[in-house]
Amino acid sequence: MPNLVHSLDAASLCLVIVIYFKQNSNVNFYSIHDCFAVPCNKLHNLTGLLKFAYCIIYSDNKYLLDLDANFRSTILNSYGKEAISFKE
C-alpha cells in the first residue's frame, strides 16, 4: 500500500510540473520530493494546478482501473497464474 500511495503522489506531482511549464515559460520552478518553491506571485497557480491534478487522477475511474489492471498484470507476469489469484 505505501508504494501505491507514493506512486499516486508522484503521478500527481508530475502532472503539476508538466501543466505548470505548459502554462508558464521561462520561469523558475524548484521541487524536492513533494515540496515546491515558486515565486510568491505563482503560488495561487501552483495550488490550483495541484487541485486540478488530484481531480484528474482521483475523479477518473478509468485511471485507477488501469492502474489496478497494470499491477495485476505485473504480479501475474512475475509470479505466474498458479502462484496467485485475485478476488474481484
- Mean pLDDT over residues 50-67, rounded? 82
Is the pLDDT at 72 greater than 80, yes or no?
yes
Residue 64 makes CB contacts below 8 A (sequence gap 6+) with 57, 58
Is the pLDDT at 88 greater than 80, yes or no?
no
Q: Give residue for cell 482501473.
A: 65
Higher pLDDT: 7 or 78? It is 78
Question: Does residue 32 sit in helix, strand or coil?
Answer: strand
- List, for residues 8-58, the tens digit of each pLDDT value: 888 888 888 888 888 877 677 777 777 788 778 878 888 898 898 888 888
pLDDT number for residue 86: 79
